[in-house]
Structure 1
C-alpha cells in the first residue's frame, strides 16, 4: 500500500509526517526552520526513509506562488524570513523525487482539515483564521479553496484602532493598521511584555484582542458569508478569548445580518495541532488520485 507524506512548513518549525491511505499517522518529526536549502535538505533526508511515499501535501508559510501558470509557481515569494525569499520550494522537492505534490499555504492546509473532518465537516463554506506567530486565513467556498491572482492575505486587512490601545503595531508594512500588526502573538507579547500564555484571564489584553478579531470576523462575514469561522493558532487556544469575540461581534454587527447561533458560528479548531498535518494528507491524496 502506498504511503502519504505531509510537510507543514512554518516559519519557526517544520512538521513532517507519514500516513497510510486511511490517514493513520505512522511517523512524525519536527525540525527547526533555518534557511530554505538547509531545511529542505533535512526534509528530503527524512522522506528518504520512506521510499513508498507516493504523494506529499505541502502547506507552507507565505507569501507563496500558487498559480500553476506563473514562472515562479512553487516559490516562497518576498518573505522577510532569512534564506527563503524567492526560494523554489516546490522545485527543490520535484528535483529530489518526482511524485505528485499538493502545494498550498499553511492556513489552507488547516482549513481543509477542518472542512474534511472537524469543526466544519457538515458545511460547504468556511473561513479558518489562525492567530499565532502571524495572522492568516484559509477560505473554502462551496468546497473549493479560494485563490485568485494569489492566495488571500486576510491577516493584513485593515482594522480600526481600539481607543484603549497605544501599541504602534508589529507589522513592518502596516504597523498598527492591520490585523496581524495588532492581534498576532508577537504583537501581544511586545505590547504587554508577556506572551498570550502568561496573560491572566482578566487582563485588559483580551478585551482589546477580542475587539480586533471581532472586527475581522464581521468583515469576513459581510464579504464572504461563510457557514462558519474557525479560530486556530496559539493565541486562540485561550478559553477566555472566543466568548469575548462573540460578544463584541454581536455588538459590531448590531443585528444587521443573520448568522447561525454564534456558539456554532465562531468556533475553535476541532483538530487542534494536527489540523495542518491532516489537511496535508487529505490534499496529497487528492493530488495522487488526480495523477
Structure 2
C-alpha cells in the first residue's frame, strides 16, 4: 500500500508518499504561489508512484460537507489566487483513488490523537499558532465537523488593558488570530517571535490571549487533552505561562486535575500534518 499526503499551507505545500506503517518514503516541498504553479510539481511527484489513497490537510476555510456542490474546495480564503479553488477535483482529474479531505489542523490533530501526545486519550483539541491560528477537535476517533469545520482562530477574546495593538485579522481585527498569531506578534513588537525569545513581556501577553481561548474551548468541548503546535509554540517558555493564566481564568470551575498533562506541545513536531494525511488516507481506503 502506497499512501500520499499533502499538507497545504499558506506559505508552502509539503507532499509526501509513505507506506501503510506511516513510514515516509519521499517528500517534496513547493512554495504556495498560484494553484496551477503549486499543484503541477506535486502531481508530477505523485505520478512517480502507484498511489492507493491521498490524504489532504489544507489551509482554509474549506468545504468539508460531502453533500455540498463545492465539497473539496478552498472557499473564502484571503490567500491570493486560492479562493474557490477545487482542490479535490484537481487531484481527481489525475488520480482515481480515495481522497481524504480536511483542514490542516484537523489532520495534525488526528495524528496527535493516534500517534502523538494525545495518544491513549478519548478526545483532544489541537491548536496551531503560527502565520494564522486554527483548531481541530477529535472525539473518539472522529473529527468535529458540523455544517462545516470549526474556525477556532477567530474566537472573540478580551483585549489586555495595556495592549494598544489594533489587531491583524482583516475580518475582525482583534479576534484571537488578530492578537496572537505570528504576524500579530511581529507587528506589535517590531520583530519576529524567534528574535523576541528573551522578552518575558512578549510571551506573558501571548499567554494571556491563548489562555483565554483554551478556557473557552475547555468549557464548550471538555477535551481530555489540549495540544499546541505551530511556530509560536516553539517558544517553550510560553507553556508554563499559559498553564498559569489558564488556571487563574478557569478558577476551578470545572475539574482539570493536571495542567502539565492537559496542555502539551506537539509530540510529532513538524511532521504532524503529513502523518495525519497518511493516517486519513489509510482510513479512507480501509473504510
**Pairing of 1:90-239 with structure 2 (within 5 A):** 90-176=88-174, 178-239=175-236
Match of 1:197, SS state, is helix
1:198-218 Cα offsets, whole Å, 9 max, x none, are: 103333111110000000000
Bigger drift between 239-248 and 198-207 goes to 198-207
Deviations 1:51-89 (A, max 9, x none): x11101000000000000000000000111111000101
Task: Give CA deviations for 1:120-159 in whole Å, capped at 9, x if unaligned.
Answer: 1010111000000000001112221001111000000000
3-state DSSP class of the match of 2:63?
coil
Q: After superposition, where does 1:25-104 map in structure 2 within 5 Å?
A: 25-50=24-49, 52-104=50-102
Secondary structure (helix, strand or coil) at the match of 2:227 reads strand
Aligned to 1:279, the other structure's residue is in SS state helix
- Taking the aligned partners of 2:257 and 2:88, their CA distance within structure 1 comes to 39
Q: In structure 2, the residue corresponding to 1:152 is in which secondary structure?
A: coil
* TM-score, reference length from structure 1: 0.97
Contact 1:133–1:186 (8 Å) recurs in 2? yes
- Is the 1:201–1:240 Cα contact (8 Å) retained in structure 2? no
Aligned to 2:8: 9
The alignment status of 1:285 with 2:270, answered yes or no, reads no
Higher mean C-alpha displacement, 135-144 vs 70-79: 135-144
Contact 1:8 1:15 (8 Å CA) reproduced? yes
The residue matched to 2:194 in structure 1 has which SS?
coil
Alignment partners' CA distance in 2, 1:164 and 1:239:
24
Would you say how many aligned residue pairs link Structure 1 and Structure 2? 287
Q: CA RMSD in A?
A: 0.8
- Unaligned stretches of 5+ residues in structure 2: none
Name segments (4+ residues, structure 1) moved above 6 Å: none
Structure 2 CA distance for aligned equivalents of residues 270 and 260 of structure 1: 21
Distance across 1 between alignment mates of 2:154 and 2:78: 15
Shift of 1:171: 0.1
Q: 268, 281, 287: which one pairs with 1:271?
A: 268
**Pair 1:240 & 2:237 matched:** yes
Deviation string for 1:88-112 (max 9, x for gaps)? Answer: 0100000111111100000011001
TM-score, normalised via structure 2 length: 0.98
- 1:155–1:180 Cα contact (<8 Å) kept: yes
Task: Give the 3-state SS of the residue equivalent to 1:96 in structure 2.
Answer: coil
1:65–1:74 contact (8 Å) kept in structure 2: yes
SS in 2 for 1:188: helix
Question: What do the CA deviations read for 1:183-207 (whole angstroms, capped 9, x no partner)?
Answer: 0000000111111111033331111
